[in-house]
């Protein structure tokens, strides 16, 4: 299918307009973050800063508790993605390579979990987290994020199916145990899938707001999202500082997107299109 060359300029115009719509909010944010309060008051919000000042970024970083936010978000991302990947791969391995009586039930439970609503479930989960003594600790989001889901299992299953069962058998003859087969053959071969799934999971965790907000109210446990929420609550009208805090929170995923875009795209589309 070729678009006729005549309509091409129109097409570029369309995409240029979309690019403008996407970049306008971000450009405004960057410009505002570098303005002094006086500059912001006296000039149009659309204008460039008269002089680029880093004062807001410094204030937002220090007063906004951002260092703590980076640390906690970092811990949550690394530990949860690590656990989640291993658990997901283990589940898919067992579901693909073994036949057992409750297999359908296990699959069924993961399917049911797909329709459990995101936020409203917290009404009941809150009591469970409290009952387990996990309230106001990193443990609460860690365990919630670590759990595997249907989509992840499906994608791992797609990859495991392509790993020949003969590999398992010959390892078996050489005396490897099932655990050995998983750790030395299956899991290493799943690493490309793990990378794409891990990136998507990492983005989800970095951008999650409600679970850390609900389960980790202590200031020392704030993530990037909840640090920003607190900072905004404190200085609702100081837009140059707000913009600086927003910019700080935007940077991690922007960088990740810039450098690992290929994995982001394959992770997003992995479940949607059969290989």
Partner 1 sequence: MQKRLVVVSFLFIPVALLLLFLLYPSLRLLQFSLTDWNGMSKSFNYVGFDNYVEAFRNPDVWKALSNNFLYFGIHAAFIPLEVMLAVFLNNKMRASRFFRSIVFMPYILNGVAVAYLFSFLYNPINGPINALLEAVGLESWIRNWLSDKSIVNYSLVVVSLWRFSGLHVVLFLAGLQSIPNDLYEAATIDGAGPLKKFVHITLPGISRVMEIVLFLNVRGALQVFDIPFLMTQGGPGLASTTFTVYTIQTAFKYNNYGLASSLAVILMLMIIVFSYLQGRLFKGKGESS
230-269 mask for partner 1 (x: CB under 8 A)?
--x------x--xx--x--xx-xxx-xx---x--xx--xx
55-84 mask for partner 1 (x: CB under 8 A)?
------------------------------
- Work out whether 5 is an interface residue with partner 1 (CB under 8 A): no
From CA 243, how far away is CA 238, in angstroms rounded? 9
Applying CB under 8 A, the span of 50-58, 122-130, 162-170, 186-194 interacting with partner 1 comes to 122-130
CA dihedral sign, ordered 70, 209, 65, 47: positive
From CA 246, how far away is CA 236, in angstroms rounded? 13
Give the Cα-Cα-Cα angle 121, 122, 128 (nearest 5 degrees).
105
- Work out whether 127 is an interface residue with partner 1 (CB under 8 A): yes
**Backbone dihedral region of 136: left (phi > 0), alpha (psi from -120 to 50 degrees) or beta?**
left
- Work out whether 156 is an interface residue with partner 1 (CB under 8 A): no
CA dihedral sign, ordered 40, 255, 150, 271: positive
Residue 205, both tokens: 């965790």
Neighbours of 111 (CB within 10 A): 10
Q: What is the dihedral of CA 140, 145, 147, 152, to 10 degrees?
A: 180
Applying CB under 8 A, the span of 12-20, 51-59, 161-169, 183-191 interacting with partner 1 comes to 12-20
Size, binding site for partner 1 by CB under 8 A: 88
Applying CB under 8 A, among 106, 157, 171, 195 the residue interacting with partner 1 is: 106
From CA 54, how far away is CA 35, in angstroms rounded? 8
| Of residues 22 and 191, the one with the C-beta less far from partner 1 | 22
CB 234 to partner 1: min, Å: 13
In the region spanning residues 166 to 225, those forming contacts with partner 1, defined by CB under 8 A, are 177-179, 182, 203, 206-207, 209-210, 214, 224-225
Applying CB under 8 A, among 122, 139, 163, 195 the residue interacting with partner 1 is: 122
In the region spanning residues 15 to 34, those forming contacts with partner 1, defined by CB under 8 A, are 15, 18-19, 21-26, 28-29, 32
């Amino acid at each position: 299918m070729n678009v006729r060359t005549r309509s091409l300029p129109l097409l570029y115009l369309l995409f240029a307009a979309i690019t403008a719509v996407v970049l306008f909010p971000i450009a405004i944010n960057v410009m505002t973050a570098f303005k002094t309060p006086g500059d912001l008051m006296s000039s149009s919000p659309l204008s460039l800063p008269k002089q680029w000042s880093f004062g807001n970024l410094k204030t937002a970083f220090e007063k906004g508790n951002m260092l703590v936010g980076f640390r906690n978000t970092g811990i949550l991302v690394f530990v949860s993605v690590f656990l989640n990947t291993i658990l997901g791969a283990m589940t898919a391995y067992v579901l693909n390579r073994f036949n057992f009586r409750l297999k359908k039930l296990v699959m069924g439970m993961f399917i049911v979990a797909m329709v459990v609503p995101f936020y409203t479930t917290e009404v009941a989960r809150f009591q469970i987290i409290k009952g387990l003594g996990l309230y106001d600790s990193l443990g609460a989001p860690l365990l919630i994020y670590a759990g595997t889901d249907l989509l992840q299992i499906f994608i791992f299953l797609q990859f495991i199916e392509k790993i020949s069962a003969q590999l398992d058998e010959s390892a078996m003859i050489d005396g490897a145990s099932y655990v050995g087969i998983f750790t030395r053959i299956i899991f290493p071969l799943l690493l490309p899938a793990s990378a794409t799934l891990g990136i998507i999971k990492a983005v989800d965790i970095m951008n999650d707001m409600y679970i850390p907000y609900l389960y980790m109210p202590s200031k020392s446990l704030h993530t990037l999202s909840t640090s920003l929420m607190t900072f905004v609550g404190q200085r609702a009208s100081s837009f140059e500082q707000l913009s600086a805090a927003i910019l700080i929170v935007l940077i991690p995923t922007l960088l990740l997107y810039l450098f690992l875009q290929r994995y982001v795209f394959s992770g997003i589309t992995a479940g949607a299109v059969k290989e």
